[in-house]
């Protein structure tokens, strides 16, 4: 995923510019709010554009976009009067999130192809499923999240930039999996976790193989009980955290093949 080191964003309605130099050494900038006077931020890109949610005067929340140096703009919804959340913004100005639709509790993953003007497109669930969620977006516009059946069981999927239909990610041992991060490729390398049948979770890597993916467990250091990969870079080097038998936590890196553990 892209680096986010140039800008830091937070709760705009509570940001005290006067205190920022004394506490952080950096000048903070109030992003501005709507008439409800409360906004929270979920993602920022390298140009300083920001997305998040704002409360309106009547109490409902809307998704919002701040261009660099500009006031917030309210984003279009999938269905009018039904709320949306926005979770990830890339450097091309595309974003993903989820929007409510249908009956209470139903939601669909969505992708805004270009902010702030484009309306969100619905990201379809997998075959036989009824709902989807989108949480991550890479620099090539690939969205990642989950597809869910009528009972709420979920599995990990990605949506390529050219399609609203998902690509299913195979599960390790037929257990539920969650995506943690993906590389910035058209066919990204992906890392995450899969639940064990009898408790706990294992770290996994999904590798593109034509139109589908292969899944493999990431190697565990000796004396480890579980691992959580959290990031993968442009060289497909993954990093995360593992837990030792005594309960202590350590940092870990894996090479692109997923079988070689590197010290941090």
- Could you identify the residue written with the tokens 């999904």? 206
Domain ranges of the chain: 1-168, 180-264
DSSP one-letter string for 112-155? ESSTTTSPPEEEPPPTT--EEEEEEE-TT--EEEEEE-TT--EE
DSSP one-letter string for 83-108? -EEEEEE-TTS-EEEEEE-SSTT-EE
CB atoms within 10 A of CB 173: 12
- The answer to whether 154 touches 19, Cβ cutoff 8 Å, is no
Per-residue tens of pLDDT for the chain, all 264 residues: 433 323 334 444 333 222 233 334 456 667 778 887 889 999 999 999 999 999 888 888 899 999 998 889 999 989 888 899 999 999 999 999 999 987 777 889 999 999 998 999 999 999 999 999 999 999 999 999 999 998 888 999 999 999 999 999 998 876 789 999 999 999 999 999 988 777 777 889 999 999 999 999 888 877 777 788 999 998 899 999 888 888 889 888 888 876 666 655
Could you tell me the two tokens for 93?
């100005």
- Which residues sit opposite 40 in a β-bridge? 53
Q: Over the stretch 176-225, which tens digit does the pLDDT of each residue have?
A: 899 999 999 999 999 999 887 777 778 899 999 999 999 998 888 777 77
The pLDDT value given to residue 202: 84
Q: Over the stretch 151-184, which tens digit does the pLDDT of each residue have?
A: 888 999 999 999 999 999 998 876 789 999 999 9
- The answer to whether 34 touches 56, Cβ cutoff 8 Å, is yes
Q: Tell me, what DSSP letter sits at residue 172?
A: G
């Amino acid at each position: 995923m892209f680096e986010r080191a140039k800008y830091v964003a937070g709760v705009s309605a509570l940001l005290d510019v006067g205190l920022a130099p004394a506490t952080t050494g950096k000048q903070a900038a109030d992003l501005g709010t709507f008439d409800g006077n409360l906004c929270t931020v979920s993602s920022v890109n390298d140009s300083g554009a920001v997305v998040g949610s704002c409360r309106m005067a009547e109490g409902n929340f809307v998704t919002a976009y701040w261009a660099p140096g500009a006031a917030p703009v309210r984003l279009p919804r999938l269905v009018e009067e039904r709320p949306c959340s926005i979770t990830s913004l890339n450097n091309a100005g595309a974003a993903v999130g989820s929007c409510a639709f249908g009956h209470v509790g139903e939601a669909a993953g969505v992708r805004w192809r270009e902010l702030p003007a484009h309306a969100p497109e619905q990201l379809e669930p997998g075959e036989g499923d009824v709902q989807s969620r989108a949480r991550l977006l890479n620099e090539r516009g690939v969205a990642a999240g989950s597809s869910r059946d009528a009972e709420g069981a979920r599995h990990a999927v990605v949506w390529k930039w050219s399609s609203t239909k998902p690509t299913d990610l195979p599960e390790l041992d037929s257990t539920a999996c969650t995506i943690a991060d993906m590389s910035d490729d058209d066919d990204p390398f992906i890392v995450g976790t899969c639940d064990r049948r009898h408790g706990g979770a294992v770290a996994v890597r999904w590798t593109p193989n034509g139109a589908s993916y292969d899944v493999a467990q990431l190697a565990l250091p000796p004396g480890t009980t579980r691992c959580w990969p959290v990031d993968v870079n442009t060289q497909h080097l993954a990093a995360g955290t593992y837990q030792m038998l005594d309960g202590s936590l350590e940092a870990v890196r894996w090479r692109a093949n997923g079988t070689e553990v590197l010290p941090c």
